[in-house]
């Protein structure tokens, strides 16, 4: 077994309280004594026992606040599943997780949610931030608790970690799959969500770069926005397919609104010859892939994003660490009809 606080106290000839104060930099310890204690701890490779630590800390009523988009969107539901799983685990360590779902991209709403949580005394924050000046400024002001930007990042130099997808690589991967399924020949339509979301743009860029570099006979004809909305997506594609003078036969959905868009494509009798690449999964998506309508979907591990985010904040709290601006990217998965579990 590793060395304990009690043993360090014995060696140093001080009380356990003093060792605790020195080890956790709580202040109010004679510098020489502190130095000595740290030295002993280092020599013996002291590592705090997490179980004991958290048991003692249960009295403190610690909590993590989460602000997350929720658009009755399967993707974010899965992120939330991950958050809940982690929350369940750390509940045993006396830490509560409060989830606030907000709709849409209203900066004012998100700002006041941030204030509300901070005022309620949370000890860490996870947020899907709007990439907006005011939000960034507000988050940068908070310097006493760790913060993680979840799934979507914000610009600038700061101490806010990021856990989520590398959208550029995700787009590149989609481009490669488009090239393979089309055998490098065809006319491509890109259906993105909105040009105001950074991640969507990065995907389109990655996709376009690979197509242009590796598949010169695959022509990108047009890019449209569906606002992540199934109905808009349906109507737009219905229209384009009908009046199509560009012979589009390859479709890349860079964001949401896939169900609606694919419905329009399925109503066309050329559908089985179309190449369709999407992002993320849902039960309906899986069916469309297994039946061969959608050729491949590029995934980003939403469950892990939620889970890892909470676990990381938990670590910060337990070790009194702040976040430092680290970026963690989840795996980019490729799902074909054969490799679902």
Partner DNA sequence: CTGAAAGCGCTTACAG
Q: Which residues contribute to the site for DNA (CB under 7 A)?
A: 1, 4-6, 13-18, 20-21, 23-24, 26-31, 33-34, 46, 48-49, 52-53, 55-60
Burial of 183 (0-12, 13-18, 19+ CB in 10 A): exposed
Query: Which positions touch a copy of itself (CB under 8 A)?
Result: 1-2, 47, 49-52, 54-55, 58, 91-94, 166, 169-170, 172-173, 175-176, 180-181, 183, 206, 210, 298, 329, 331-334, 336-339, 341
Residue 94 or 184 having the CB closest to DNA? 94
Q: Which does 13 bind (CB under 5 to 8 A by kind): DNA, a copy of itself, none?
A: DNA
**Side-chain-side CA neighbours of residue 102 (13 Å):** 19
Q: Are strands 124-127 and 62-69 parallel, antiparallel or unpaired?
A: parallel
Beta bridge partners of 275: 250
Using CB distances below 5 to 8 A depending on partner kind, what does residue 14 bind out of DNA, a copy of itself, none?
DNA
Give the span between the Cα atoms of 247 and 211, in whole angstroms. Answer: 18
Terminal Cα-to-Cα distance of the chain (whole angstroms)? 40
Nearer to DNA by Cβ, of 12 and 68: the residue is 12
Cβ proximity to DNA: between 19 and 130 the closer is: 19
Q: What CA–CA distances, in Å, run from 216 to 172, 181, 188, 204? A: 15, 15, 12, 17
134 binds, among DNA, a copy of itself, none (CB under 5 to 8 A by kind): none
Phi, psi for residue 204 in degrees, rounded to 5: -60, -40
Work out what residue 333 binds among DNA, a copy of itself, none; the CB cut-off runs from 5 to 8 Å by kind: a copy of itself
176 binds, among DNA, a copy of itself, none (CB under 5 to 8 A by kind): a copy of itself
265: alpha, beta or left? (left if phi > 0; alpha if psi -120 to 50): alpha
In the bound state with DNA, the residue whose beta carbon lies nearer, of 22 and 294, is 22
Q: Closer CB to DNA, residue 33 or residue 322?
A: 33
Residue 180 site contact among a copy of itself, DNA, none (CB < 5 to 8 Å, cut-off depends on kind): a copy of itself
Maximal CA-CA distance, the chain = 86
Nearest approach in angstroms of CB 206 to a copy of itself is 8
Q: How far is the CB of 211 from a copy of itself (least distance, A)?
A: 12
Angle between helices 5-12 and 31-43 (to 10 degrees): 120
């Amino acid at each position: 077994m590793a060395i304990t606080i009690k043993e360090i106290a014995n060696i140093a000839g001080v009380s356990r309280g003093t060792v605790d104060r020195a080890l956790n930099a709580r202040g109010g310890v004679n510098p020489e004594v502190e130095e000595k204690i740290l030295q002993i701890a280092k020599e013996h490779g002291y590592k705090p026992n997490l179980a004991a630590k958290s048991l003692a800390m249960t009295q403190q009523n610690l909590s993590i606040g989460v602000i997350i988009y929720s658009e009755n969107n399967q993707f974010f539901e899965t992120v939330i599943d991950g958050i809940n799983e982690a929350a369940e685990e750390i509940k045993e360590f006396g830490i509560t997780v409060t989830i606030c779902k907000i709709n849409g991209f209203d900066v004012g709403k998100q700002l006041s949610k941030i204030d509300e949580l901070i005022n309620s005394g949370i000890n860490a924050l996870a947020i899907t931030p709007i990439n907006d000046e005011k939000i960034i400024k507000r988050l940068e002001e908070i310097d006493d608790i760790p913060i993680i930007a979840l799934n979507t990042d914000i610009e600038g130099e700061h101490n806010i970690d990021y856990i989520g997808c590398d959208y550029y690589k995700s787009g590149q991967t989609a481009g490669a799959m488009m090239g393979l399924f089309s055998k490098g020949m065809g006319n491509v339509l890109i259906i993105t969500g909105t040009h105001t979301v950074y991640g969507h743009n990065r995907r389109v860029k990655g996709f376009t770069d690979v197509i242009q570099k590796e598949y010169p006979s695959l022509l990108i004809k047009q890019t449209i926005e569906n606002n992540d909305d199934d109905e808009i997506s349906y109507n737009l594609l219905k229209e384009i397919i009908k009046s199509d003078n560009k012979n589009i036969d390859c479709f890349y959905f860079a964001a949401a609104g896939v169900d609606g868009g694919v419905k329009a494509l399925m109503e066309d009798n050329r559908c089985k010859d179309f190449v369709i690449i999407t992002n993320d999964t849902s039960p309906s998506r899986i069916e469309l892939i297994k039946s061969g309508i959608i050729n491949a979907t590029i995934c980003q591990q939403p469950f892990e994003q939620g889970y890892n985010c909470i676990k990381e904040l938990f670590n910060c709290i337990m070790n009194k660490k702040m976040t430092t601006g680290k970026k963690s990217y989840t795996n980019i998965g490729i799902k074909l009809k054969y490799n679902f579990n």
